[in-house]
Amino acid sequence: MKNKNVLITGASRGIGKAIAEEFAKAGANVAFTYLSSVEKGTALETELSAFGTKIKGYRSDASDYTAAEELINQVVADFGSIEVLINNAGITKDTLLMRMSEEQWDDVLRINLKSIFNLTKAATKPMMRAKTGSIINISSVVGLMGNAGQANYAASKAGMIGFSKSIAKELGSRNIRCNVVAPGFIETEMTGELNEEQLKEWTKSIPLKRAGQGKDIADACLFLGSDNSAYITGQVLVVDGGMLM
């Protein structure tokens, strides 16, 4: 990854932050986005700069079509190119379907799914000119198996898989790859709100008997962003400790 230019959305915390850290450690130049977590975004820029590569954070809304296009143009202007795009920005608004509002459905689909359309479409322009690129979309095992109370989230993550496979077919002839990483139960600030009993119930269903870490997802992204995966496209890499077996 040395000297490759990488853009990661939603990187101020959780999985996105772990991905940004591992890419910077590996020698990549890292551009990343944040939206509401301004202080965390600024702090991450300072933290990652210690690895000695070019680092820059951008406050940008991935679900806004115009903002996404402006972001890509700015990153290309600042870094010169984008070799790897990692679409990680996402939210949950969980509730049973009978209680789900139209707003809860629309918000999750807009932020989780429309954002990858926005960023991918904009990023393919400079990637096509360079005739190289790796696009990695962070989905979820919920997009493969569904989950009660997460119809909106599951739909967005399943849609991401279909989108990625289509893009892989469209852009393969231009040497642009598109793959999906589907995390299982990963310890983040969000899962930190669960109590000890809930954590035990989750880990019971995982063959490796532990929750995943952000680094587990970051390592998968490093592989798919590197030349070690040069002949891999249109695939879903499930990182879940065996939960879906």
DSSP notation for 25-50:
HTT-EEEEEESS-HHHHHHHHHHHHT
Closest CA to 41 of 68, 22, 59, 15: 59
Please give the C-alpha separations between residue 51 and each of 8, 56, 76, 228, in angstroms, as whole numbers.
17, 13, 21, 23
| Listed residue (86, 105, 103) closest to 155, CA to CA | 105
What single DSSP character describes residue 12? S
Dist. CA 6–CA 8, nearest whole Å: 7
Mention every residue, 6+ apart, whose C-beta is less than 8 A from residue 100: 151, 152
The position carrying tokens 């991905």 is 19
From the list 85, 101, 76, 241, the residue with the least C-alpha distance to 176 is 85
Q: Of 34, 65, 153, 231, which is the active-site residue?
A: 153
Mention every residue, 6+ apart, whose C-beta is less than 8 A from residue 182. Answer: 139, 140, 141, 143, 144, 157, 161, 236, 237, 238, 239, 240
Helix (H) or strand (E) holding 180: strand 176-183
Whether residue 231 lies in the annotated active site: no
- Which residues are designated catalytic? 153
